[in-house]
Chain A
């Protein structure tokens, strides 16, 4: 596979995954805040700020009044904002375009339909009453794309590269969500019924990761900070956990370069090391300093992504 095309497919995977997480974050936060058990979590300003924080564009001015329609438009459909959902999908399609000969017709057509859905979504409807419709559609269409990727592509290097992009991005987005909700839980604490460790925000976080039901099944208890983080970071069977994503990346990198696995400068080696580090972590370790732990994961993911770039895409 051409290095340039591999680069594009890697990023196609990342943009597809990213658009889904941003969409779900908007959806879950907005709608669960409507009947949240405490005033802080119900506050619209609080929710809008959390959204901006999650996409990496926090509003620093704590007194500024945010207009709901502006924030939703910016993150959803603003073509001039590079991290908006519409741009993620534009970039995903552009990357797919340049690899059109490699991917299946079915996958390309699905991406193309997705693109047309998003670019043709009426702005006014979106900001007034289309948030649920739009974001659930986006999430569903990304599911279709992952289905087409898994079900119609040859499981060779092309598939491995796309899957690596998807999983690195998934781990990144889950960590960003954890970061945002960790921040929200800190901000919203106070009062007897709203301790940090039992914050309503942990439930929201699990829902953002579509992991709430399974978490309840696994722990059979109301989510706390510690159980939520353990589930979303360390549980290898939770499909959206950081651990699960790292395992996937580790499997796929082996397809690309099996013979280089034990070469200490290879991507496979690096991923193996990072993966092992998390495999043998326990939650109490993380709980001591959640903030630096989150920063470390994000850093490791960037290092992995850079290494992929260096080994496979650069000439």
Chain B
């Protein structure tokens, strides 16, 4: 551990075993962060205590909150926001942006294929059981052509920077990825708190997301529609992402509807306005597949619209994202992403996949058994983090036990190298100082008819608990403003 000379960073402890985003391996502040580091150093830590409180109350007054249900009361909480922005230089961003588009396109082609000719399965590139056994594969989508040929209009790609300084994708989210409104809120909050720092950097704006999203949604309108009527559908104001739904509708200037505001007649969708029914053409839905139409999916759903899927099948309405995309973003398909990209695009993956060893293959099994201490062992059929063993946390006795289990049923296990998320200086409330915390990045990619767009920014999530690698907000994660610098 080394101390770094700077008033507010005087107690900053740099662990040389971790990849620190603002320092190089010798502990020197990287060039791109130098100005920011000096500017922040001009303030005292008391200024940050004050600014941090101001930022908090600003989020509170704007109602950018989520609700926590206690025993006898409902509490409103804000998502923790960090005052120290993350900077991504143009070279790195170029990789992330091209990589996100590449994955989104490959996933779109993959979805088209598995709901049509299933060539990739016939060619044995992806095992057929992977698809047929998936709970998220929708038979109803077979042979259906979504307007514009797009399934995953909006993708959220979770990217981390590993110890080796390279970017890896941990997860693709192509159902209803959320978080984009926080990208914009974080920028607004940082601008209010520390506007001076923006003068020294050429940062890309993030406020152009909504206009791009609307343009995309209009580009995939159903046939025969001239100027499409676009709506956002939300489960309602008690949903934890309601702020985002209302934000997107507001900034796109379209209606935010609930299931009960829509009805279907003769396979066309209408919304109930004060001037009578009005036809709806494109639905950006923030409701999961299972709940969009009680006639077709979960019959108990009160969130959806009876007959919506029939209207979709007739081609009278566009749903974004398309139903049935969930089959392509699960853990099992993830491991085949390099092959999927290769198969459809004939390209090398730009962003790395975390390498996965399939214990069902003898050569890989041998490697796994020899390197357990540096691997994470995961059962393929469990979700939610159950049954996972992290090699470097196991005792000798436990290692032998895991080995025995793998040998007994090798098909049941896969293994991955232990990934170390990069760390970034983060203001910590309790200690009133800046400390190293692990971060990831969620990028937002939009695919339309002949159109693609990646929001130049993205949501940097921070694991606020010391040493924690889990950045989810449900696990006490916060977020940072993320600057993508202009070339």
Interface residues of A (CB under 8 A from B): 1-6, 94, 97-98, 100-102, 105, 108-109, 112-113, 116, 157, 161, 256-257, 312-313, 315
Known contacts A3-B274, A4-B261, A4-B272; is-contact A98 B61 (Cβ 8 Å): no
In the assembled complex, the CB of B58 is this many whole angstroms from the nearest CB of chain A, namely 9
User: Looking at B62, B246, B255, B257, which has the most chain A CB atoms within 10 Å of its CB?
Assistant: B246
Starting from the known contacts A1-B255, A2-B255, 13 additional A-B residue pairs (CB-CB under 8 Å) come to A1-B274, A2-B272, A2-B273, A3-B273, A4-B258, A6-B274, A100-B256, A101-B232, A101-B246, A101-B256, A109-B63, A112-B62, A161-B274
Partner of A101, one of B60, B255, B275: B255
Interface string of B242-264 (1 = CB under 8 A from A): 11011101100001111011000
Q: How large is the interface on B (under 10, 10 to 19, 20 to 34, 35 or more residues)?
A: 20 to 34
Known contacts A100-B246, A101-B249; is-contact A1 B273 (Cβ 8 Å): yes
Known contacts A4-B258, A4-B260, A97-B237; is-contact A116 B60 (Cβ 8 Å): yes
Q: Is B271 interfacial (CB 8 A cutoff)?
A: yes
Partner of B261, one of A2, A100, A157, A256: A2
Contact at A105–B273, with CB atoms within 8 Å?
Answer: no
- Bound complex: CA of A113 vs CA of B58, how far in Å? 10
- Bound complex: CA of A274 vs CA of B106, how far in Å? 65
A-B contact pairs, 15 of them (CB 8 A): A3-B261, A4-B258, A5-B261, A6-B274, A94-B237, A97-B242, A101-B246, A101-B247, A102-B256, A105-B250, A108-B63, A112-B62, A116-B61, A313-B274, A315-B272
Contact at A102–B271, with CB atoms within 8 Å?
Answer: no
Query: Which residues of chain B come closer than 8 Å to A161, judged between CB atoms?
Result: 274
In the assembled complex, the CB of B101 is this many whole angstroms from the nearest CB of chain A, namely 29
Q: Please give me the residue from chain A that is nearest to B277 by CB atom.
A: A315
- Bound complex: CA of A108 vs CA of B63, how far in Å? 8
- Bound complex: CA of A5 vs CA of B232, how far in Å? 14
Q: Please give me the residue from chain A that is nearest to B262 by CB atom.
A: A2
Contact at B274–A112, with CB atoms within 8 Å?
Answer: no
Query: Which residues of chain A come closer than 8 Å to B247, judged between CB atoms?
Result: 101
Interface residues of B (CB under 8 A from A): 60-63, 232, 236-237, 242-243, 245-247, 249-250, 255-258, 260-261, 271-275
Partner of B250, one of A3, A102, A157: A102
Known contacts A2-B257, A2-B271, A312-B274; is-contact A112 B237 (Cβ 8 Å): no
User: Looking at B63, B236, B273, B275, which has the most chain A CB atoms within 10 Å of its CB?
Assistant: B63
In the assembled complex, the CB of A257 is this many whole angstroms from the nearest CB of chain B, namely 8
In the assembled complex, the CB of B247 is this many whole angstroms from the nearest CB of chain A, namely 8
- Bound complex: CA of A161 vs CA of B273, how far in Å? 13
Q: Please give me the residue from chain A that is nearest to B258 by CB atom.
A: A4
In the assembled complex, the CB of B375 is this many whole angstroms from the nearest CB of chain A, namely 47
In the assembled complex, the CB of A162 is this many whole angstroms from the nearest CB of chain B, namely 13
In the assembled complex, the CB of A265 is this many whole angstroms from the nearest CB of chain B, namely 15
Contact at B61–A256, with CB atoms within 8 Å?
Answer: no
- Bound complex: CA of A2 vs CA of B249, how far in Å? 13
- Bound complex: CA of A94 vs CA of B236, how far in Å? 12
Query: Which residues of chain B come closer than 8 Å to A101, judged between CB atoms?
Result: 232, 245-247, 249-250, 255-256
In the assembled complex, the CB of A25 is this many whole angstroms from the nearest CB of chain B, namely 28
In the assembled complex, the CB of A104 is this many whole angstroms from the nearest CB of chain B, namely 9
Query: Which residues of chain A come closer than 8 Å to B258, judged between CB atoms?
Result: 4
Contact at A109–B273, with CB atoms within 8 Å?
Answer: no
Contact at B250–A98, with CB atoms within 8 Å?
Answer: no
Q: Please give me the residue from chain B that is nearest to A315 by CB atom.
A: B272
Query: Which residues of chain B come closer than 8 Å to A113, judged between CB atoms?
Result: 61
Q: Please give me the residue from chain B that is nearest to A4 by CB atom.
A: B261
Q: Identify the 9 closest CB pairs spanning chains A and B, nearest first.
A: A101-B249, A100-B246, A101-B256, A101-B250, A312-B274, A101-B246, A112-B63, A3-B272, A6-B274
Query: Which residues of chain B come closer than 8 Å to A313, judged between CB atoms?
Result: 274
In the assembled complex, the CB of B306 is this many whole angstroms from the nearest CB of chain A, namely 14
Contact at A157–B274, with CB atoms within 8 Å?
Answer: yes
- Bound complex: CA of A256 vs CA of B245, how far in Å? 27
- Bound complex: CA of A98 vs CA of B242, how far in Å? 9
Contact at B61–A112, with CB atoms within 8 Å?
Answer: yes
- Bound complex: CA of A101 vs CA of B274, how far in Å? 17
- Bound complex: CA of A3 vs CA of B63, how far in Å? 24
- Bound complex: CA of A161 vs CA of B255, how far in Å? 16
Query: Which residues of chain B come closer than 8 Å to A112, judged between CB atoms?
Result: 61-63
Query: Which residues of chain A come closer than 8 Å to B60, judged between CB atoms?
Result: 116
Query: Which residues of chain B come closer than 8 Å to A109, judged between CB atoms?
Result: 61-63
Query: Which residues of chain B come closer than 8 Å to A98, judged between CB atoms?
Result: 236-237
User: Looking at B237, B246, B271, B274, which has the most chain A CB atoms within 10 Å of its CB?
Assistant: B274
Q: Please give me the residue from chain B that is nearest to A313 by CB atom.
A: B274
Contact at B256–A256, with CB atoms within 8 Å?
Answer: no
Contact at B274–A256, with CB atoms within 8 Å?
Answer: yes
Query: Which residues of chain B come closer than 8 Å to A2, judged between CB atoms?
Result: 255, 257, 261, 271-274
- Bound complex: CA of A257 vs CA of B260, how far in Å? 24
- Bound complex: CA of A256 vs CA of B236, how far in Å? 26
Query: Which residues of chain B come closer than 8 Å to A257, judged between CB atoms?
Result: 275
Q: Please give me the residue from chain A that is nearest to B252 by CB atom.
A: A101
Query: Which residues of chain B come closer than 8 Å to A256, judged between CB atoms?
Result: 274
- Bound complex: CA of A6 vs CA of B250, how far in Å? 16
Q: Please give me the residue from chain B that is nearest to A94 by CB atom.
A: B237
Q: Please give me the residue from chain B that is nearest to A93 by CB atom.
A: B63
In the assembled complex, the CB of B427 is this many whole angstroms from the nearest CB of chain A, namely 24
Q: Please give me the residue from chain A that is nearest to B275 by CB atom.
A: A257
Q: Please give me the residue from chain B that is nearest to A160 by CB atom.
A: B274
Q: Please give me the residue from chain B that is nearest to A7 by CB atom.
A: B274
